[in-house]
């Protein structure tokens, strides 16, 4: 049986604070339709796709509340779910989740082509800080607004419409952490979806990392982790000038050799697609990265046994 899935990365241009929810949703539906028109069975949207990247602002009260979804789906986003089910296209999408108990998470879900939510992931590697940086116009307050994900790194075995692919989800900064990829690959992950909002520069003028270097970093980690875990990866940006703060693009689809097979050319709404042959994972999974044959976890204890760095003593 052929195990080829056509996948689309639905890069989004910026969602301004002033953009209405329905305007953003219409853009997402247009991207979904373009993905479907190109034959994709899975469309991957960015992190926090329905809103601006609100952790850049110090907010509270109703304004902060307005960025969270208290149910998924809900009336605001239902048209996306409806259109996807109509087109028989599934999707990954990131959003701010508020639970009935009032917990907030930076969350992504996987929606099958029949409209069922078949997977949920809550971001574990939250960057930024709890307290705002004094004097900074732009903040990174993910550690303030979200709790650390409490679902671990679950991989999901999907159905026939996705060729029974084992799919993993990460969110933004997670993709820079090899522990996250490996936790998914140890479940046989064949396809990794990750949406992101990554700064193109320090909006407060504090460093010298160019947008090119940041885009290189973003692609490098996806390429190497896809290779080292013998899986496909779809990495999807919200890009461009959002509320005066720049976001990199560089959305890409990467094969199990770590090669970019498709990449976005703009900082705007843009669909790219690739045919992902899941059986291309087998070369890595059975040879170079045959975990059962080659991993030596008895020597990995620092990875789970400590959080930060413990430096060695000086040699005499």
Contact positions with its own copies (CB under 8 A) in 276-295: 283, 285, 288-295
- Confirm or reject binding of residue 18 to its own copies (CB under 8 A): no
Assign 157 to helix, strand or coil.
strand
SS3 225: helix
Residue 123 designated active-site? yes
- Measured over all CA atoms, what is the biggest interatomic distance in the chain, rounded to whole angstroms? 70
Residues 212-231 that bind its own copies (CB under 8 A): 213, 216-217, 220-221, 223-225, 227-228
Closest CA to 66 of 90, 84, 50: 50
Binding residues with its own copies: total (CB under 8 A): 73
| Rounded Cα distance, 73 and 64, in Å | 19
Report, in Å, the least distance between residue 271 CB and its own copies. Answer: 27
- Residue 101 burial (CB count, 10 A): 5
Element (H, E) at 245: strand 245-247
Smallest separation (angstroms) from its own copies to the CB of 154: 7
- Smaller CB distance to its own copies: residue 27 or 182? 182
Q: 60: helix, coil or strand? A: coil
267: which 2 tokens?
A: 């900082």
Smallest gap from Cβ 39 to its own copies, in A, equals 24
Q: Which of residues 99-138 bind its own copies (CB under 8 A)?
A: 118-119, 124-127
Tell me the sheet residues that pair with 69. 97
- Tokens matching residue 139: 């903040």
Q: How far is the CB of 188 from its own copies (least distance, A)?
A: 4
Q: 123, 163, 238, 285: which is the annotated catalytic residue?
A: 123
Site for its own copies, residues 152 to 181, rule: CB under 8 A: 152-159, 164, 166, 173, 176-179, 181
Closest CA to 248 of 284, 209, 204: 209
Q: Which is nearer to its own copies, 51 or 173 (CB)?
A: 173
> What part of residues 180-209 is at the interface with its own copies (CB under 8 A)?
181-183, 185-188, 207
Known catalytic residues? 47, 123, 172
């Amino acid at each position: 049986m052929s195990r080829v899935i056509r996948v689309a990365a639905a890069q989004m241009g910026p969602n301004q604070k002033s953009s209405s929810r329905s305007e953003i949703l219409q853009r997402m539906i247009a991207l979904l339709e373009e993905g479907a028109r190109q034959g994709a069975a899975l469309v991957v949207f960015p992190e926090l796709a329905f809103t601006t990247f609100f952790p850049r602002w110090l907010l509270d009260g109703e304004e902060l509340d307005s960025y969270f979804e208290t149910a998924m789906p809900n009336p605001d986003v239902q048209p996306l779910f409806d259109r996807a089910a109509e087109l028989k296209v599934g999707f990954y999408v990131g959003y701010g989740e508020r639970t009935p108990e009032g917990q907030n998470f930076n969350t992504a879900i996987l929606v099958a082509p029949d409209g069922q939510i078949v997977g949920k992931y809550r971001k574990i590697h939250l960057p930024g800080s709890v307290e705002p940086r004094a004097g900074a116009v732009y903040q990174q307050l993910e550690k303030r607004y979200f709790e650390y994900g409490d679902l671990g790194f679950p991989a999901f075995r999907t159905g026939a419409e996705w060729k029974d692919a084992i799919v993993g989800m990460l969110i933004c900064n997670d993709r820079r952490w090899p522990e996250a990829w490996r936790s998914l690959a140890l479940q046989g992950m064949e396809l990794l979806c990750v949406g992101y909002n990554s700064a193109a520069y320090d909006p407060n003028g504090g460093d010298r990392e160019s947008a090119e270097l940041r885009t290189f970093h973003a692609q490098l980690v996806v390429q190497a982790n896809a290779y080292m875990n013998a899986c496909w990866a779809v990495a999807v940006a919200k890009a461009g000038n959002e509320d005066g703060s720049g976001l990199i693009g560089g959305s890409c689809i990467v094969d199990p050799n770590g090669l970019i097979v498709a990449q976005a050319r703009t900082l705007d709404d843009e669909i790219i697609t690739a045919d992902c042959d899941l059986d291309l994972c087998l070369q890595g999974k059975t040879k170079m990265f045959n975990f059962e044959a080659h991993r030596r976890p008895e020597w990995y204890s620092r990875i789970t046994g400590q959080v930060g760095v413990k430096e060695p003593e000086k040699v005499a």
